[in-house]
A and B are shown apart, each in its own frame.
Chain A
Amino acid sequence: MLKNVYKVPDGKMLKIALEKEGNTIGRIIINGDFFAHPENCIETLEKELVGKELDREKLMNVIRHIVIINNFRIFGFDEKNLCDAIMGCR
């Protein structure tokens, strides 16, 4: 399991655990002290990200799309921060 503890500039803390499958996401856990409404949106994100390519641009678009179509409201990080946190997993 790869991990990253990422302090969002002017935001909250993201604690990511990532299992890679080749160059895609096999499994991901997004923890932290952020706020997200509705709360189950993080579980949705974690599920939707499985199988997605670990490519910064593509991942950012995928996250943005999931957030917009589901009308998720997240405070403490944005899609770029989440992307940076995921891509920084070691």
Chain B
Amino acid sequence: MKRFRLLLTGHNSGAMNMAIDEAVMTHISEGKVLPTIRLYGWRPSAITIGYFQSMREEVDLEKCRELGIDFIRRITGGGAVFHENEATYSIIAPENYFSEEILESYKQICSGITTGLKKLGLEAAFAPLNDIVVKGKKVSGNAQTRRMNCILQHGTVLIDVDVKKMFSLLIVPDEKIRSKMINNVEERVTGINKETGRNHGFQEVVNALTDGFREALNLELCSGELSPSEKEMAERLAKEKYSKDEWKFKR
């Protein structure tokens, strides 16, 4: 059984959410804090893009500004994600806690999510490379990076999906394609509420995921908080890195 810190950071801005992940990873790599599972949400709602995406090519910045939605670059690869009604997790640990093989490590970590979703009554399955599906529809997307001898995987578990809103915030090749893309994504993506026919709260999903990780990864979870030094670093990174155009528009 491995000891992990359980970190519940509530809802934060996009910049702060990404900054907390990086601050925690830095502190874990220096052996200053326990490996960590963090559960959180986004306020305001946010679009994150993958590390290799171009902000201007992917995101309708004017629309985001108009609706007060953050737009942020992740340090992980993958695609653009609209974070609204969802529970988000990060798992951060020394690299040797999980398989060296990237696909295998996705599978290991995602088993925590599928186990958590089963607690909500859903038959969820890992769909390589980085998705989790319920009845063939994506309910969770995940992304991983390895830096500073640590593994960081974060991902989203959709509670409710507003595909129309999501596409209003993304750049599409032309308007004719927009409705086609919306239909396509509505067929391929789902949320927990739609699948269970119930109305799950953020905290309920967070609790289910916490139990899922504990069970599937055989963890001893110790409730904790950000250390003062992590907090200070996160605040600095949010302000000086993730909020800055230099990072947002890096590609």
Chain A interfacial positions (CB closer than 8 Å to B): 5, 12-13, 15, 29-39, 42, 73, 75-76
Whether A73 lies near B52 (C-beta < 8 A) is: no
* Smallest Cβ-Cβ distance to B144: which chain A residue: A35
- Assess whether B129 is interfacial by the CB under 8 Å rule: yes
- Tell me the complex Cα distance, A36–B143, Å: 11
Chain B interfacial positions (CB closer than 8 Å to A): 50-54, 57, 75-80, 102-103, 129-130, 143-147, 173, 251
Chain A nearest CB from B72 CB (Å) reads 15
Q: Which of A12, A29, A34, A38 contacts B251 (CB 8 A)?
A: A29
Q: Which DSSP category, helix, strand, loop or mixed, fits chain B's interface?
A: loop
- Tell me the complex Cα distance, A35–B77, Å: 5
Q: Which DSSP category, helix, strand, loop or mixed, fits chain A's interface?
A: strand
Q: Which of A13, A31, A35, A38 contacts B143 (CB 8 A)?
A: A35
Known: A37-B146, A75-B129. A32 touches B102 (CB 8 A): no
Whether A38 lies near B129 (C-beta < 8 A) is: no
23 CB < 8 A contacts A-B: A5-B173, A15-B54, A15-B57, A31-B53, A31-B251, A32-B52, A32-B53, A33-B53, A33-B77, A33-B79, A34-B77, A35-B76, A35-B130, A35-B143, A36-B77, A37-B102, A37-B145, A37-B146, A38-B146, A39-B52, A39-B75, A42-B52, A76-B129
